[in-house]
Structure 1
Amino acid sequence: MSPAKDETEREERIGLHNLRPAPGHRKPRKRVGRGEGSGLGKTSGRGQKGAGSRAGSKDRARFEGGQMPIHMRMRKLRGPHKKTSMPFEMFRTHTQPVNLADLDERFEAGAEVTLEALRAKGLGTRRGIAVKVLAKGEITKPLTVSAHAFSAAARERIEAAGGTVQIIET
């Protein structure tokens, strides 16, 4: 490795020791009540009279000048058991991921990877939940992999390594 490349690599590494705000992001604080010449003297940028000029005035983000606020005007949709609210769980799919790197690490070349074999090796241990093979990591051995689903990249890599893919119908 050349010294120039090593130098740039060292500069790019970010840690707590070298975090700082973007240049020009931090502004100096307003120093109010320091005389008329400063532009923020006398009333200190609060205007003349009224609730906003007094100490302890509330300036909430949701305040609308006494009008009924939008968060109170909107209808309430309480919980997933009401007809009017969004059904949450109906469209969610539950799968447990198994990565190619884990298969490559735990199985010998030419092995048959079934759901039982995965469970025996500590992968896909949740019963009743479909197993999906994902393409994280590399696979170097030909394996016959059986699972409920495969990502497109995982299927490609398994077949490129000389293995086969079998989808389990549930």
Structure 2
Amino acid sequence: MSDAPTDNADLGNEPVSARLNTLAPAAGSKHAKKRVGRGIAAGGGKTAGRGHKGQRSRSGGNVRPGFEGGQLPLQKRVPAFGFRSRIGGKTAEVRTSELAAAAEAGDGVVDLDALKAANIVAKNITRARVFHSGAVTAAVAVKGLGVSKGAREAIEKAGGRVEE
């Protein structure tokens, strides 16, 4: 018979199904963490595993990740790569599902000014590109915007047109 508690006195000798509050590790399977710096007799006294002297033996002593003791670190030795696009922050993505709202603001023509008037893109945006995402609910004329292949097909299928 196990020592597990039972749900009900009527169940007799049947153990209770495992519950989070009854789970425990097997006896002897866990070892207590070594407590260092508690005297010589405790087995981890004196230097407490830190060795003798040096920056890392001191309280709070360590170096930041990547620091190589004053030598030029690897991160600075390897060549730089990539770049930060100067037009990326000024280019907006527009979904085809947003074109109907922009068309109302722009009298049926969707251009950058109509997108700004409909609050679809921010005022500082200088370029926009239309991507196919969602249905085109109205026949719209897209003018002066980049248009993906899928978006172009969806606009023309809805009776609209794309002008460069």
With normalisation by structure 1, the TM-score equals: 0.48
Compare CA radii of gyration and give the structure with the larger one.
Answer: 2
